[in-house]
A and B are shown apart, each in its own frame.
Chain A
């Protein structure tokens, strides 16, 4: 009633008339609310944040259903027993045994004589690691073995595998001692799943899993950055020598703004009068190194414009040569006699362009 009168007055009356009405105490239930909120806020600060809880502590959790769905989600038809073994870690069994011993019950009668996933993880890791190597060697047949190893190292690194495991819903299902989980535990479980696939469904199916989940992690990554080449010009010289082609000749293609901070030099590398790579740089040395890297990329066919990896439906009838071993950069360098080395002299030749004659070499 009073509210309706007040709203009426607001329209018709002057401001002065409203003053006594505003002083009427409001009959409101939220008088102490702000005080309460302040107390709640302060106590939250003193108590600290809510601790992380395992998903199984919540009411909507059924381990059997979760494990069953895990296999179905990934399109793998494994039985529940082997799946449960995949998620069972040694630390969990040990902890449970300890608990039982403390209670004074004989361990033999507890039903804890079950297998943990260590063996599966071992075989799974071996299979995944092998398959990644074979696939990469076939995908990049002209790339150096060292480079292939670096890409393999990246794919099988704990960060990458842990990220895959997290996005497949593995962490919640793991039965182990530690919480929050260590990254290595997630990786072990993922590898154990691959091992279980190999054991139950055969190698082919396990290979398909690796191809579908681990290898796509290369998409959008620069594979040339994964292997650090210290002296690209030296390696390029050795490679050209190995291929019985002319030794690399760096030439200045263009330069601009050379007396300013924004200077740019474009250097091309020639072999037998043919341009095999070019790149820009702030100084001639940087540009020369980058050009050597570019030439190496083109020789190894790992340049940015290479065709995409064969994955998914494109790889259905993929046949990989399992015995293929790529050529090693170390072998090439060893074959190349140090007398002919132009890795050090090449930088002199580039200075020759500047110091000797300013009219640039026509290329």
Chain B
């Protein structure tokens, strides 16, 4: 598959969440499971041992329990952006279900796709886009070429000279130490 056909997106924040206060984006979660089948055992254990802790810790999430006869178990999370995510929890132990639930709770609800960039900024450059006149002195407008002033080397000591001088001093110090 080519890059054009694989869905991709830019890094986004839903409704600038977290600038003001953080709002948990998972609004509703439904546990679907069978009351008798063996592969729903983990979900049943989870409901018995961990569900109340979860609801007490997160009162902003509505939890529904939906028993279905002889159907595989599943968690369906609904998000504030209108999307929903499902995770099949068949044959999963309760600990793993806890982890998946935490994963669903902390998500923004946006579809997981390839990110084109791992960073985002609203102001890409405060200086503006570079152009040939960026940081150019306007006095050059009046210069008549060939302009001898442009070729002048500044009268201060050059970096090359400074380095040569430093080297010479070091060599002298070494020589004096030896003697």
What residues of chain A have their CB less than 8 Å away from a CB belonging to chain B? 59-62, 65-66, 68-69, 72-75, 163-164, 166-169, 211-213, 215-217, 219-220, 253-254, 256, 264, 266, 268, 280, 304-305, 311-312, 359-360, 362-363
CA distance in complex: A305, B60 (Å): 38
Q: State the main secondary structure of chain A at its contact with B.
A: mixed
Closest to A257 in B: B132
Contact (Cβ within 8 A) B122 A220: yes
Do the beta carbons of B138 and A254 come within 8 Å of each other?
Answer: yes
Tell me the minimal C-beta distance from B130 to chain A in angstroms.
Answer: 12
In the bound assembly, the distance between CA atoms of A74 and B21 in angstroms comes to 8
Partner of B19, one of A69, A163, A166, A219: A219
Q: Which residues of B contact A60 (CB under 8 A)?
A: 28, 30, 64, 66
Minimum C-beta distance from A361 to chain B (A) = 9
B contact residues, total (Cβ < 8 Å): 32
A311 touches B20 (CB 8 A): yes
Q: A59-B66, A304-B126 are in contact. List 18 more A-B contacts (CB 8 A).
A: A62-B62, A62-B64, A66-B28, A69-B59, A69-B61, A72-B59, A167-B80, A168-B23, A169-B27, A212-B19, A213-B15, A217-B16, A219-B19, A219-B122, A254-B136, A254-B141, A256-B132, A362-B142
The B interface, classified by DSSP as helix, strand, loop or mixed, is loop
| CB closest chain-A residue, reference B82 | A166
Indicate with 1 or 0, residue by residue over B113-157, a CB within 8 angstroms of chain A CB atoms.
000000000110010000111001011011000000000000000
Pair A312/B19 contact, Cβ less than 8 Å: yes
Contact B59 A68 (CB under 8 A): yes
Q: Which residues of B contact A68 (CB under 8 A)?
A: 59
User: Nearest-CB distance from A258 to chain B (Å)?
Assistant: 13
Tell me the complex Cα distance, A219–B15, Å.
Answer: 10
**Most A CB atoms within 10 A — which of B14, B16, B30?**
B16
Pairwise interchain contact B142-A360, C-beta atoms closer than 8 A: yes
- Name the CB-closest residue of A to B16: A216
A-B contact pairs, 22 of them (CB 8 A): A60-B30, A66-B62, A69-B61, A73-B23, A73-B24, A73-B61, A74-B21, A164-B15, A169-B27, A211-B20, A213-B15, A213-B20, A216-B15, A253-B138, A253-B141, A254-B133, A254-B136, A266-B133, A280-B131, A311-B20, A362-B139, A362-B142
* Interface presence of B81 (CB below 8 A): yes
Residues 1-42 of chain B: 1 if any A CB is under 8 Å from the residue's CB, otherwise 0? 000000000000011101111011001101000000000000
Interface residue from B20, B131, B142 paired with A216 (Cβ < 8 Å): B20
A219 to B120, CA, bound (A): 13
* Residues of chain A with a CB closer than 8 A to B136's CB: 254
Report A-chain residues with C-beta under 8 Å of the C-beta of B141. 253-254, 360, 362
